[in-house]
Amino acid sequence: MPQFSANLSLLFADLPFLDRFDAAARAGFQAVEFQFPYDFAVADIKARLNDTGLALVLHNLPAGDWAAGERGLACHPDRVAEFQHGVLKALEVAAVLGTPQLNVLAGLLPTGVAPADARRTLVANLRYAASLLGDNGIRLLMEPINTRDMPGFFVNRTEQALDILDEVGSANLLLQYDIYHAQRMEGELGATLAAHLSRIGHIQLADNPGRHEPGTGEINFHYLFRHLDDLGYRGHVGCEYRPRDAGPGGTLAGLGWVAAHGQRLSPDPAQTPR
């Protein structure tokens, strides 16, 4: 049975960020993840983790000016120094929070930059980050993101991402497989998971269309959860969806999908993260 982590950047969004930890714990989650911790005092986040007993699964490297539309820096040839500074900043935060893995967003293809140049920059940046993080016991992940939601995102398909991972050549770099993004770009979810599970470090979910809870769209999560069990996946599955009910209490009201799919938020004690 998959272990689920609550993505606090999207779930319980009617509450202030730091209050979402307690809400997730009260809902039954035993693990959390989030996109960016950098606007908050790291000591405050650590205190919430300690108070609730929640395990932190991952967060992202800095991704530039998100409010201005930036979606990562790793493929930008003119911002290598900024990317490397972001890796150091993320490492500092992860050391306090005990983050076991960090996700990198490749970014949008910069205007006027040839794809080959963007790829060379991305590969070099990934080698730098994977090596530095590995020296500190932290795993690096890279996530393909669909170009319908994020037009121009440079890494947007599984095979493309794996080809880049091959070129980087680091055992400390794995794929973050987001079921929602993969469904929008390519489908073949079950076959892709089976073919590449050994290279997948983390899985996230949301249904399509709408990026809401499982059971609100076309994806057969009954099958996928059984499939992950059959494949022997022991990592976390991040609930990175937008609750269909965006009002107060909407996240909690929408958690009926868990039991409806034969799952639970409190895992079998025999399970341990892969």
Residue 257, judged by CB atoms within 10 A of its CB (0-12, 13-18, 19+), counts as middle
Phi, psi of 253 (to 5 degrees): -65, -30
| Residue 267 to residue 49: CA distance in whole angstroms | 18
Q: At 178, which helix (H) or strand (E)?
A: strand 173-178
Question: Which residues does the annotation mark as catalytic?
Answer: 143, 240
Angstrom distance (rounded) from CA 103 to CA 177 = 11
Residue 60, both tokens: 């992202």
| CA 142 – CA 75 distance, rounded (Å) | 12
Decide: helix, strand or coil at residue 269: coil
